[in-house]
């Protein structure tokens, strides 16, 4: 908890600093043809350059994803997973799930001691926390289905970047400093590549360049078989993990139908299970739709109440019903049924807060995180992709293979290690999300594309663990209900509620005292005196003129680049 509070304080300082730099900016970058918005300028530039050379959004996706692995090792990855939602220029939509899976040797009680208690840290740190990586198969399947440029041409600038290195930013320096001792402890020694690096230093990723070259040359077999796979598995097993060559051989990303729902004149397309993002956001929008939320003042008491009460009810359902659709039956129709959702809101009143104990029950401590990363792309042909990718915690399991240049995920923590016990995001799981071999753990990642009157309107997503869904929902409402520019919609202060703990979390400085006092009077518990940032949203809006406006989140080093 001390560690998490430190991150929050640190994040708050970053947020305030970045806001002051951007306080007068109302519009983000505007371009005529194509754009990438991501957590690092190098990654956005590589994706945009490929499109300038004639590649499409999917070519740019492959390059951006890998460039984030090079320059943003905190969350960018090869040994993690993610989700992509796309909309083609002709209006066809789809999604790919490259979420990690539990290894074959995983079991329901693998993180429990003999008394049946969760062993602290086992699902979050070190080799036992690692799920079977999905990112490389994900990008290769995307390339195979939609790519237009040869893989070698796409990966060549990424490999060059890894060899040349990237320059450490102020925010990176602070993160590296903060994580240095835990990286050292988990790996048994300081990591030469990262330890002690300061703002302005260059970090070269020479071993990662070799791993990328192996993928460029041998494609799937350059990662899931052969030398890289053997080195990966023997490294993880030496460190006490259970990942096997068979796990790697069996791993396949899955094309899935996205969740689509109408909200006023919007068609919102988002990720379905094993992400909870699309379902939970659909419930939220459907619950607020009858209230005409645009009539309330933005970020004032009634607006906050209405959203909070929809968040509370949607997260209660999320945590109970959702899991990997290949393993559990999800009552999708029921959960998205308008009558059901109206009924869920029938005990809501503006007079006072609903208690989460009347929605369901449980007592947890609050944990938080801003790991994971999101990027949005629109190409010059009109295709759009929205991608959120992660190794879960910052630097994942913290375990790093110096030989391969890889941080490994700690995605196993997104399973419910024991029903009723919260994970690192404070989310309480249930039976639907219990650990089973080859099962995918439930996610909150919410890569989303919004159509307005059947035309592409917004491409959006964010990191932020359990806060992802509520941050994406608020950004869409900002753009749609409050006509904010994309940059304003991204900059606007956010708040979050996730059913349990029964607390509204507000970002710093964006909510006036009178509003907070009114909410207190009505029975809302909130994070008074304890502030944090919520998400780092990267988004693109199609303006009425057809131009693109980027919304790159000033809470991070996020950058929009296009032409
Ligand atoms: N690991 C964060 C998420 O998938 O929601």
DSSP element (H, E) containing 429: none
The pLDDT assigned to 422 comes to 76
C-beta of 446 in contact with ligand 1 (< 6 A): no
Asked if pLDDT for residue 112 goes beyond 60, the answer is yes
pLDDT, tens only, 373-395: 999 999 999 999 999 999 999 99
C-beta of 465 in contact with ligand 1 (< 6 A): yes
Identify whether the C-beta of residue 105 lies closer than 8 Å to the C-beta of residue 244: yes
The pLDDT assigned to 369 comes to 52
Pick the range with the lowest mean pLDDT from 2-16, 169-183, 424-438: 2-16
The pLDDT assigned to 12 comes to 41
Identify whether the C-beta of residue 38 lies closer than 8 Å to the C-beta of residue 47: yes
The pLDDT assigned to 171 comes to 96
| Calpha distance 463→474 (Å, rounded) | 14
Asked if pLDDT for residue 170 goes beyond 90, the answer is yes
A 10 A CB-CB count for 514 gives 10
Q: In this predicted model, which residue has the larger pLDDT, 352 or 2?
A: 352
What integer best gives the mean pLDDT of the chain?
92
- If one residue of 84, 278, 425, 429 were mutated to test the ligand 1 pocket, choosing by the most ligand atoms within 8 A of its CB, it would be 425
Asked if pLDDT for residue 25 goes beyond 70, the answer is no
C-beta of 424 in contact with ligand 1 (< 6 A): no
CA of 422 to the centre of ligand 1 (A): 14
C-beta of 314 in contact with ligand 1 (< 6 A): no
> CB under 8 Å to 557, separation ≥6 — which residues?
39, 40, 41, 169, 171, 172
pTM for this one? 0.94
Nearest CA to ligand 1 atom 3: 443
The pLDDT assigned to 272 comes to 98
- What number is the average pLDDT over the span 229-244? 98
Residue where the block lists tokens 């289905």: 145
The pLDDT assigned to 16 comes to 38
pLDDT band at 349 (very low <50, low <70, confident <90, very high): very high
The pLDDT assigned to 363 comes to 28
CA of 544 to the centre of ligand 1 (A): 34
Residue 422 tokens read as 């919260």
pLDDT, tens only, 403-460: 999 999 999 999 998 877 778 777 776 788 999 999 999 999 999 999 999 999 999 9
pLDDT band at 155 (very low <50, low <70, confident <90, very high): very high
CA of 32 to the centre of ligand 1 (A): 33
- If one residue of 323, 390, 413 were mutated to test the ligand 1 pocket, choosing by the most ligand atoms within 8 A of its CB, it would be 390
**Percentage of the residues of the chain whose pLDDT score is greater than 70:** 93
Active site positions, annotated: 372
The pLDDT assigned to 64 comes to 99
Asked if pLDDT for residue 350 goes beyond 90, the answer is yes
- What is the separation, in whole angstroms, between the first and last Cα of the chain? 44
The pLDDT assigned to 310 comes to 97
Asked if pLDDT for residue 11 goes beyond 90, the answer is no
If you ran DSSP here, which 8-state letter would residue 506 be given? E
C-beta of 392 in contact with ligand 1 (< 6 A): yes
Backbone angle region of 368, left / alpha / beta, with phi > 0 → left and psi within -120 to 50 → alpha: beta
CA of 297 to the centre of ligand 1 (A): 31
Asked if pLDDT for residue 498 goes beyond 80, the answer is yes
| Calpha distance 93→258 (Å, rounded) | 8
C-beta of 467 in contact with ligand 1 (< 6 A): no
DSSP element (H, E) containing 91: none
Cis peptide before 494 (omega within 30 of 0): no
C-beta of 461 in contact with ligand 1 (< 6 A): no
| Calpha distance 318→429 (Å, rounded) | 9
| Calpha distance 107→109 (Å, rounded) | 6
- What number is the average pLDDT over the span 455-484? 97
The pLDDT assigned to 517 comes to 95
- Which ligand 1 atom sits closest to the C-alpha of 390? 1
pLDDT, tens only, 34-80: 999 999 999 999 999 999 999 999 999 999 999 999 999 999 999 99
């Amino acid at each position: 908890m001390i560690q998490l509070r430190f991150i929050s304080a640190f994040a708050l300082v970053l947020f305030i600093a970045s806001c002051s730099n951007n306080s007068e900016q109302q519009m983000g970058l505007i371009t005529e043809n194509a754009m990438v918005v991501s957590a690092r300028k190098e990654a956005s530039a590589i994706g945009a350059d490929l499109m300038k050379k004639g590649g499409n959004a999917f070519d740019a996706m492959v390059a951006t994803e890998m460039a984030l692995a090079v320059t943003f090792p905190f969350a960018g990855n090869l040994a993690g997973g993610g989700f992509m939602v796309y909309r083609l220029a002709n209006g066809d939509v789809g999604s790919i799930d490259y979420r990690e899976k539990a290894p074959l040797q995983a079991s329901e009680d693998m993180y429990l001691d003999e008394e049946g208690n969760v062993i602290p840290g086992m699902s979050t740190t070190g080799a036992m926390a690692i799920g079977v990586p999905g990112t490389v198969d994900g990008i290769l399947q995307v390339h195979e289905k939609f790519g237009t440029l040869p893989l070698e041409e796409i990966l060549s600038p990424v490999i060059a970047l890894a060899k040349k290195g990237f320059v450490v930013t102020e925010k990176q320096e602070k993160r590296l400093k903060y994580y240095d001792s835990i990286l050292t402890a988990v790996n048994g020694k300081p990591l030469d590549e990262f330890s002690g690096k300061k703002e302005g230093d260059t970090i070269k990723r020479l071993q990662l360049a070799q791993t990328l070259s192996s993928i460029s040359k041998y494609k799937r077999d350059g990662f899931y078989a052969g030398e890289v796979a053997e080195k990966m598995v023997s490294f993880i097993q030496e460190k006490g993990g259970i990942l096997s060559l068979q796990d790697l051989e069996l791993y396949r990303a899955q094309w899935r139908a996205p969740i689509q729902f109408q909200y006023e004149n919007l068609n919102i397309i988002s990720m379905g299970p094993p992400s909870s993002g699309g379902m939970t956001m659909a419930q939220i929008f459907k619950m607020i739709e009858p209230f005409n939320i645009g009539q309330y003042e933005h970020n004032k008491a009634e607006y906050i109440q209405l959203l909070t009460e929809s968040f509370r009810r949607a997260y209660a359902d999320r945590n109970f019903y959702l899991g990997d659709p290949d393993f559990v039956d999800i009552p999708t129709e029921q959960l998205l049924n308008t009558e059901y959702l109206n009924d869920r809101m029938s005990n809501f009143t503006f007079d006072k807060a609903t208690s989460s104990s009347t929605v369901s029950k449980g007592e947890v401590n609050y944990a938080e995180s801003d790991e994971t990363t999101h990027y949005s792309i629109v190409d010059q042909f009109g295709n759009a992709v929205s991608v959120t990718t992660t190794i879960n915690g910052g630097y994942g399991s913290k375990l790093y293979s110096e030989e391969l240049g890889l941080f490994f995920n700690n995605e196993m923590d997104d399973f419910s290690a024991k029903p009723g016990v919260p994970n690192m995001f404070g989310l309480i799981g249930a039976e639907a999300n219990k650990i089973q071999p080859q099962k995918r753990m439930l996610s909150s990642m919410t890569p989303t594309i919004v159509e307005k009157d059947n035309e592409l309107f917004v491409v959006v997503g964010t990191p932020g663990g359990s806060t992802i869904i509520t941050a994406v929902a608020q950004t869409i409402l900002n753009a749609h209900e409050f006509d904010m520019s994309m940059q304003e919609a991204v900059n606007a202060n956010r708040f979050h509620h996730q059913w349990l703990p029964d607390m509204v979390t507000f970002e710093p400085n964006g909510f006036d005292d009178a509003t907070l006092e009114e909410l207190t009077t009505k029975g809302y518990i909130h994070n008074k005196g304890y502030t944090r940032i919520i998400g780092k949203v990267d988004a693109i809006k199609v303006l009425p003129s057809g131009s693109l406006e980027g919304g790159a989140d000033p809470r991070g080093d996020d950058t929009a680049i296009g032409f």
